[in-house]
Amino acid sequence: MEKEQAKKEIKELRKKLEYYAKLYYDMDSPAISDYEYDMMMNKLKALEKEFPELISKDSLTQKVGGHVKEGFKEVTHEVPLQSLQDVFSFEELKEFDERVKKVALENNEKLKYVVETKIDGLSSALKYENGVLVQGATRGNGLVGEDVTENMKTIKHVPKELNEKINITVRGEVFIGTKEFEKMNEEREILEEPLFANARNAAAGSLRQLDSKITASRPLDIFIFNVQKYDEKTFDSENSHFVELSKLEKLGFNVVPVKTLCNNIDEAIEAIKKIGEDREKLSFGIDGAVVKVDNLRLREILGTTYKVPKWAIAYKYPPEKKETKLIDIVCQVGRTGAITPTAILEPVKVAGSTISKTTLHNEDFIKEKGLKIGDTVVIQKQGDVIPEVVDVIKKKRNGTERDFVMPTVCPVCGAPVVREEGEAVARCIGIECSAKILRNLAHFVSKEGMNIEGLGIKILEQLVDKGFVKNIADIYTLTVDDVASLKKNGRKFAQNVIDAINRSKDNDLYQLITALGIRHIGVKSAKGLTKKYNSIDKIANASLEELAMTPDVGLITAESIYEFFRQPQTIDLIEKLKEAGVNTLAKTSKNKDDRFYGKTFVLTGSLENYTRDEASDIIESFGGKVSGSVSKKTSYVLAGEEAGSKLTKAQELGVTIISEQEFNQMISD
């Protein structure tokens, strides 16, 4: 390759790697797989090796990715938290061994290795003085990290005090366990919150919160894997990393659980293979195995480069592909009602685990791959990623294969399955479908819905698990004893919940309509509906044409409402809610004053005496409208503390800006 072409490729690779590293380290939102990133990095390393004169200090081959997040204090690491050199073959491990062995022989030092799992999390340091935790910090760029001491204190296995009064700084990996990650994402899906891409980024995002209460609510854990610095008077390392780990356990640290002392590189390779075979049994995610020199004196002699230590190396397990038979495709109903096709496979061992089924995502994925039931397919499982079908071997077809047809009714409850234009996912629209009951309940009791305080997702899960609640209407049959049985000494809590449930019976009709979770219906359109139709029966009996003519309700939304109220499950639920005493009539506004008729307000910033919803309700009660964006048609912008870009736009357009005090005068005159 010509130098000019190499220069161009290196520049492009650095640009891409910087972008993906920023997403991964700083935004906790990866855009490509670790393997794709590693391959890109390897290509850059190879080009820089071929053209060393093109290496620069700002290349990611020469530094660690990551920056200090705004809002955190900076911490300068006394001992840098370096990255590791990655290798992808046993031959490269043997080359590493040759380099280390040569230095060991030259200096008459013994050579042993310690092989550990490479935990997939966020690297951090904990500093103790006189046995007390005084500082917790993220790796950052390796030299400067973020002070997350208060957040670290919320993690169960971070000891606030050690079993001995010593001065020591240790390095570990903050992570979220596999099952805990799945559970967390399930709950986020139910609450209609964005899902985390993977456990590593969930852990990083959770630790790097400015509010430690958010960190405390996440299932974070930590494994310690290295001593960074210690007081020799109080901590004897015995010149062995393996011994150090044992002593750290006695001090009270949660030390990396998979660690093997090896006499040579061949034993180390066998230990790596064993980790690969057993990785499915681990309760946490890994992205490889680490080989470390055990002899601490030899480590000092070997030294480090600017970015990586010369005494350790990371082996990354390459993605493995296998052929197998696609026996069938069955559909599963998720907690959001999403219908997901699942491949039933002839069992095959891939990357250390036996795969017998995997997701096929949606109907489009099946069509894009050209999959048929009975096909021979190629399965890939890279690292701890869910296995997936990556190819179909069409030349092995014998004519017995058959096409997959997406169901038109829910396989769980029999309600219609709807796939809307522009969406990849088909969904069950049955409101009493047992597969998505938790999602429906969470939406029903939410602040935007019936606003039943105390019924959080974890309480709802327990009520469903214990059989107290099988559908939405069952909320109104709960007793104090039912709720109290969920918590120790929970009678006061239970009474508060029952009181909140009873209060919700008197809610306005628009709140009930919002709570039912009809597709495309939010608070605004629910208010439009109840203003035109003052009872739930009138909404249920309205024609499609009538619904489409309702303010804030278009044709697509009208079709959704029309379909919803003609489902047997919906009819059954409405009757049960009426029997329970839930209000199904619109409340006549006490305020007949239309002083804001024809006026459009935009709210920005924090108001001292009102929430956004409360201010919006007041404006609408006076006949006005509330919009989410500023335009020339905006009448007023109500600006509170820390008003943002909407205020700037209002100033540019010459829109009237009012303070909370002026707003109070407008509504009290």
User: Catalytic positions, please?
Assistant: 118
What burial letters (b/e) apply to 135-157, b meaning 16+ CB within 10 Å? ebbbbbbbebbbbbbebbebbee
Positive or negative: CA dihedral 669, 647, 626, 640? negative
The number of C-alpha atoms within 13 Å of 633 and in the hemisphere containing its C-beta is 7
Contact of 438 with 461, CB cutoff 8 Å: yes
Amino acid present at 90: F
Rg (CA), the chain: 30
Sequence-distant (≥ 6) Cβ neighbours of residue 99 within 8 angstroms: 310
CA geometry: angle 89, 91, 93, nearest 5 deg: 80
Q: Is 546 helix (H, G, I), strand (E, B) or coil?
A: helix
**What beta strand segments (E) does 263-402 contain?**
286-293, 312-315, 320-333, 338-350, 353-359, 376-381, 388-392
Say if residues 414 and 436 touch (Cβ distance below 8 Å): no
Q: Which of 441, 419, 475, 501 lies closest to 187 in space, CA to CA?
A: 441
Question: How far from 610 is each of 132, 606, 616, CA to CA, in Å?
Answer: 44, 8, 9
Q: What are phi and psi of 260, to 5 degrees?
A: -130, 125
Residues with Cβ within 8 Å of residue 444, at least 6 apart in sequence = 450, 452, 472, 475, 515, 516, 517
- Smallest CA-to-CA distance from 218 within 163, 131, 281, 148 is with 148
- Structural contact between residues 534 and 526, judged by C-beta atoms closer than 8 angstroms: no
**Of 402, 423, 414, nearest to 333 (Cα)?**
414
- Phi-psi sector, 119: left (phi>0), alpha (psi -120 to 50), beta: beta
Nearest to 330 by CA among 368, 369, 356: 356
| Tokens encoding 146 | 């973020």
Angstrom distances, CA of residue 63 to CA of 85, 95, 144, 389, 543: 12, 23, 12, 36, 65
Name the pairing type of β-strands 636-639 and 656-658. Answer: parallel
Name the residue among 317, 324, 331, 318 with its Cα closest to residue 379: 324
> How many C-beta atoms lie closer than 10 Å to residue 474's C-beta?
18
Structure tokens at 298: 């030899």
Alpha-carbon gap, residue 635 to 601, rounded angstroms: 6
Which residues lie closer than 8 Å to 237 by C-beta, 6 or more apart?
A: 227, 230, 243, 244, 247, 296
Start-to-end CA distance of the chain, whole Å, equals 79
Q: How far apart are CA 203 and CA 25, in angstroms?
A: 11
The helix, strand and coil proportions of the chain, stated in percent and rounded to the nearest 5, come to: 40, 20, 40
- Which position has the token pair 């208060």? 150
